[in-house]
Amino acid sequence: MKHVRALFLVFLSLLGASAIAQTREDAPFGNHPEPAGIAKLYPNPATEYLHVSFEEPIAREAKLAVHNIIGNVLDVETETIDEHEVRIKVKDLPVGYYILAIRDERTNTRSNLKFLKR
């Protein structure tokens, strides 16, 4: 189990995991905002769909990528619900942990959020 955790931590560092769990208040020097002004995932764990809710209206412009635990990008269906929400179909993914990489090209920021598919 230690090896899996170590691999996961290396993977997160490769994805720029410093953005994980940062909010505007605790970002270094207070000048590195999260993409979209912070995204929230629900439900987590997900079974069929994962919803990504943004505080700012950038759902149409944000670039999303789902990575498996070893870093491979997975092909998943996404649907933009409105300016604040995107729905990702995770029904066909195997059970396990995944990373959702979010890139906001307007502000040149990115974030990585972990979720569980059951």
Per-residue model confidence as pLDDT tens digits over 84-116: 999 999 999 999 999 999 999 888 889 999 999
Distance CA 83, CA 85 (A): 6
Amino acid in position 20: I
Structural domain boundaries, residue 82: 2-117
CATH of the domain at 26: 2.60.40.10
- What's the number of domains the chain is made of? 1
CB atoms within 10 A of CB 4: 10
The conformational region for residue 53 under phi > 0 = left, psi -120 to 50 = alpha, else beta, is beta
pTM here is 0.70
Q: Tell me if 109 sits within 8 A of 33, measured CB to CB.
A: yes
